[in-house]
Structure formats: C-alpha cells, structure tokens
Structure 1
Amino acid sequence: MVSALTDLPMPGLSGGAVDFARRGGQLRVSFTPRCQLGSWFCHNEGEVPPRITHHDRTIQPRRRALAPADYLNAINTMTAAGIRRVFFTGGEPLLSPAARPVLQGIPTHQPSQYTTTLITNGLTLVKELPWLGDTTLDRVKVSLHYFSDASIAAIAEGKPGDIAKIKAGIEAAIDVIPTVELNLLLQEQNAHEVMDIIAYSRHLGTGLQIIELVDTDHNAGLGGAKIPSVDIASYLRAIATAEQVVTTGTGQGRRVFTVTGSTGPMTIEVIDASLGRHHVGQCTTCPARRKCIEGFWALRLDSAGTLAPCLLRTDLRMDVTPYSDDPAALLSAVSAHLDAFTEGTLR
C-alpha cells in the first residue's frame, strides 16, 4: 500500500504532509472519550481513559467541541489531500451521538481513494447494524481482547461485559459490512484465551491483528508483565502457508501470516516491537521516546477539537475549531503543523 501511495498526487500539501501520506499514515477520528468498559490498558487516544473517570468522577475528559459537520469537513479535506486510511474510534465510538450522522455522511468512495474503519468493542453492534449497513463504511474492527465474561471483568476492572453479545455482533456484521476484522492485545489476563481467539477468527474467516502492549503513563504497572509475541508467532508459523515481515511504512514492524480459515486463505498480523519502528525529527529529543513504540503513526482528531500527530505528547495538539468552515485554511494549518513535527521544530 505504501509503495502505491507514492505515485498519487497530493494537491495542496507541503513536503511534510506529503511524506505523511506516502508513509501510509492514517487519520484516527475519536467520536467520544466515553466507554462502557474501563480496560486497564486503555490510552483513549491521549484523552483521560474511562478507567480513571470510573474511579474518580471529578476527573473528566475535555468537553466535546465538534459537531458532525465539523468532523465531515476535516475528514473530507484530509482524504482529498492524501490521507488514505480513516479510523473511527473512541472510547467506544458507537456511544457518541455524532457517530451516526458522520458515518452516514461519508461520501461514496473507492478503496483506491481511501478506506474507512470503525473500531468498536462490539457491545452495541447488533443494535447499530441496521443503519451501519446503509453507510459507506468499508470495515468494522472489533476489539476482542477476551473470550469469556470472566476475562472481560479481569481486563475491565470488574465492569460487566457480555461475550455472547459481542460474538453475536461480530457474526451478524459479517453479513452486513464488507470486511470484518478482530484485534487482540496480548496481556497476562487473556494469555489463556489467545488460542481460542485465533481459532474463532479462523472459524469465521475474519482477519486478526495481534498487538503487543503500548506502555503509557496511564497503564504503566497496572496489568502485569508485557507478553511478547514470539510464542504466538512461532505457533502461527507452524500453521501458515506464508509469512511476510513488513518493516516499511509507519509504526511498528509486523509479521503477516497467511493461514487457512473456514472460507479460505486469511491473514493474521502480529505487531512485533522487536522489528523496529519509524520516528521523525520531533522524536529525536522527545522525552517520551523511550516509552514510544508507535513512532510517526497517525493523526488523531478528537471530540474536543484538537488534532495531534503523536499519542504520548498531548502538548503537541493543534486546535482545529477555528477552521471548521474553511477547508483551505484547515489544510494549510495541518500541513504546517505536520511539517514542524516531521522536522523536529514543533513547539
């Protein structure tokens, strides 16, 4: 995908932003910081994680500042200018009143132009599928970090979950959404269920992405030792028909295994920090670099109306609310912000 992007024109963008698009960068759009679960590892796209608010109601995330039209202006502007992957996140995005009008407002597009992915915990997926199926959404990715109610409780600090409801949503979505995928964060609380989740993914024929933990200030020391992916990779290698190691582009390197699922060949990706990561100028002297395994990975547009090129550096946020009705000014400001970030001069 990255090599294909290098030949695409990126009108209106200066050097740094063009480089961002060519590296296969993504736009992560957070509809809300709220979530039914309070998973111990949640970084909440740089916002106050639900776990913290669940424990202390005086600690609240920032107020929502963007209307659906503002989201659509930003998305349409940045996809027209070269962003090729848009992810809708939260918190839990389907809890937001903005989710439906924004997703219904995304224009018809081809995957060669850009793709849209909804990342959800799946708890309300069955209820929301009737209208989701009428959108231009390309993909739903369900976070399946557990395979039992007991594991949900362990990961979400006792918050009730319903694995049967989540599985029902996944299985129903397969008939409605063009592509359904799962993602799994390796941790001590789910180590005993990883093979079950892999088997479930193969049974459904969905793609699966297995992720190593990203340490942040919010989750450090909470969930036990980090679980490396080496044993999982060894297992997948034994059953795979092909393996590809990808170390180009943005973020961490990954191992891509082709395995046989119920409907034919399918892909299981393993994000492996040992394969290295990509950094840019701003990272050279960054005090958070030793904790960072994402590198220059995504633009994050949050519900409070700020856009950041980095997960761990909230001080690098840019306020986009002054440009809500001026796409040209928005594009110019974002381009300048990214230029400064990639050159290491952003303050």
Structure 2
Amino acid sequence: MLDDAPVALRDSFRRFNDGGGKFRLAVINACNLDCAFCHNEAMANPRRGGVRRDVLGVDDLVAIASAWARLGGAQINLTGGEPLALPELVPLIEAIDKRATRIALNSNVLLAERLLRRPRVAAIDVILASLHTLDDATWRDQLGGRRARDATDAIVALARHGYRVDLNYSLGPANRDHFDDVLDFALAHDLHLKAIALVRSSTAPGFYGGDWVDPAWLAARLDARGAACEGSRDSFGGRRTTYRIGRCKIEVKNIAAGRLHTDFCRGCLHQAQCGEGIYGLRTGVDGLLKPCLLRRDRHRPIEPRGDLERQLLDAVHAMVGDWSSARFVGGAPG
C-alpha cells in the first residue's frame, strides 16, 4: 500500500498521479494493423522485423495491474499491440483488483466483435479508440488497414453497446488535413476527442514521414468551429488545452508548448528529439519497466514474483526525481 512506502516514493507517486502521468500495460505484442508511426510501447515490433519475446503471461499482467491499483494509481491503460487480439483479454480485465482505478482500453477497435458478442464488460471504464483519418487511401497507406468505415462502424456499435468511447487522433504530416473529418465524426456521435502530435519512439531519420506537425494550429481550427476554450495546464506528457463544442470535449496535447524534463532527463542524448517528456511508465509482456521510449538504457526487467508495488514506486520515483529541478521545456522535437 502507498501509505507504507517511504515518504519520497509516496510524494513522487502522488505527483505523477495528480499530474496526469500514465501507466501503460501492453498485454500483447501483436496487431492487425501496421501504423507507420506506431511506438508499440517500445517493444520490439514484429511487424517491422523485430523479434517478439513474450516474457510475462496473463497472471503476471493481472498481478502488475492489481499492484498499481493497490497503490491508488488513477488509471491503467491496457495497450499492445492491439489488446483485442488477445484471446484472454476479458478474463484478464475481470481478474484485475481494480478498486478505484480506471481501466482504459487503447484499441483500434477493428476486433470490436469480441466485445460486442457478450454483455458489456463493467470493468472497462473507457475505450480509447484510435481514429487518425477517415480517408481510405491514408487508412491503407499509413495504417495498413482496409477502410476507415471498419473503425467508425465499430466505434458506433461499441457506444450503443454501453461503452464509453473516446477518440484518439495522432497528428502527423499524412493526416494533418483530416482533423475536421474526425472532429465531425466526434460531434455527430457525441464522442470526446483527444488530439496529440506523433511521439517519436526511435532516433531513426525520417520517423515522422516529414516535418513534425505542431498541434498549435488546431486552436484556430477549433475557434473557427465555435469551440469554447475551457483552459490549459502543464502536465505530464505536455500542455493540455481543453475545448468544448456542445457535449463534445476536445483535448489538445502539445509537447511543443511544454514537455516535462526532470532529473531523469539529465545527461540524456535524446533531448533534442524528445517527443513526450516524462509522461508514462510502460511495461507489459516483454517484461521490462520503461520510463521512457527513447532511453532504452534505462529499461529494466520487472520481477513478477517480487515486490511489485515497490518496483513500480521506484520506477515512478526515478522518473519524477527532485521536483525542485523539474521544468517544462518548449520547442518542436527534432
């Protein structure tokens, strides 16, 4: 339990939680799409020639998620790969001792039938559905899918089935001109929408497929659509600005307006390329705790039979560090 931990670890965990830091648990390293910009939670990507090494099983993942919930973690993002491709996904979710923790399912929703053919899974608090474009050519060329309607139909069906579905739109050179289409879909179905810039997960030249696109220009588009700005705040993962059009909330996350650097970032060789800052603690089937996508030298094995709560607390504390030296850094990443 968090109250039993040393004060410094408790403080770091609470700051991480309150500041919007995320815990992302990759339950599978396989996907039915091949998005050009996929960071795959820093796992070796088998769709790009990487060797898939699954170290942890379902019981291990349940234990890790339950440990995060016991600590009072605000949210667990179940990711992949594509989590709906995991046959045991629903039993895994229902086995988590979630307490007051929200469970968010990050999904491309193309396998939605696996949820639709059964009663709504009460433990899933929100489905974060990826919807980066409604253009079929971009869908095929950039995402490796068949057509955008496969996703939009699934999103509507999941919402009708009783799930809360929010949309995730990742902004890059290939879909910059498609934001209004995605927004129109969100408005038509009263869905919340989050827009973020592409997050670099490797130092490879040309990762973005062109110049990095600053989400700042979305403010003008939203203003033109009559959106009311409800405010901004600096947070883990970048500055978040919230807008509202009718019942639809739109959140724009912009790391160029401020991404968090802490003690963890000191001496990092990738600061100029950093597209996320301190944001999410990742782990999953590859058995590694990953406080950063780019700093692979700081990835460490997680021991599922050890003290999971202490391992998670230590990892978060390393990310947060001495808060008096933390700062928000602006500017576009390279």
TM-score (normalizing by structure 1)? 0.84
Which residue is equivalent to 1:227? 213
Gaps of at least 5 residues in structure 1 are 1-8, 54-58
Which aligned pairs between 1:17-56 and structure 2 lie closer than 5 A?
Answer: 18-24=11-17, 25-53=21-49
Q: Which residue among 175, 182, 185 is the counterpart of 1:200?
A: 185
Letter paired with 1:297: Y
Residue 118 of structure 1 and its aligned partner are, at CA, apart by 0.3
Task: Give the distance between the partners of 1:120 and 1:99, measured in 2 at CA.
Answer: 12
Which residue is equivalent to 1:276? 258
Task: Give the distance between the partners of 1:74 and 1:233, measured in 2 at CA.
Answer: 39
Residue 242 of structure 1 and its aligned partner are, at CA, apart by 3.3
Which residue is equivalent to 2:63? 73
1:38 and 1:49 in contact (8 A); partners too: no
1:22 to 1:129, Cα distance in 2 relative to 1, 3 A: farther
Post-superposition Cα deviations, 1:246-281, rounded to whole Å, max 9, x if no partner, equal 11x311002110112xxxx22101111232011221
Task: Give the distance between the partners of 2:140 and 2:148, measured in 1 at CA.
Answer: 11
2:61 and 2:284 in contact (8 A); partners too: no
2:126 and 2:163 in contact (8 A); partners too: yes
Task: Give the distance between the partners of 1:132 and 1:67, measured in 2 at CA.
Answer: 25
Q: Which stretch shifts more, 31-40 or 218-227?
A: 218-227
Task: Give the distance between the partners of 2:88 and 2:287, measured in 1 at CA.
Answer: 13
Letter paired with 1:280: T
The CA RMSD over aligned residues, in Å, is 2.2
Task: Give the distance between the partners of 1:93 and 1:44, measured in 2 at CA.
Answer: 12
Residue 141 of structure 1 and its aligned partner are, at CA, apart by 0.7
Residue 204 of structure 1 and its aligned partner are, at CA, apart by 0.6
1:305 aligns with 2:301: no
Which residue is equivalent to 1:106? 96
Q: Identity over aligned residues, as a percent? A: 26
Which aligned pairs between 1:327-342 and structure 2 lie closer than 5 A?
Answer: 329-342=307-320
1:68 to 1:188, Cα distance in 2 relative to 1, 3 A: same
Task: Give the distance between the partners of 2:23 and 2:2, measured in 1 at CA.
Answer: 15
Q: Which residue among 256, 259, 273 is the counterpart of 2:242?
A: 256
Gaps of at least 5 residues in structure 2 are 323-334
TM-score (normalizing by structure 2)? 0.87
1:169 aligns with 2:165: no
1:296 to 1:183, Cα distance in 2 relative to 1, 3 A: same
Letter paired with 2:92: V
Letter paired with 1:71: L
Task: Give the distance between the partners of 2:70 and 2:80, measured in 1 at CA.
Answer: 24
1:18 to 1:129, Cα distance in 2 relative to 1, 3 A: farther
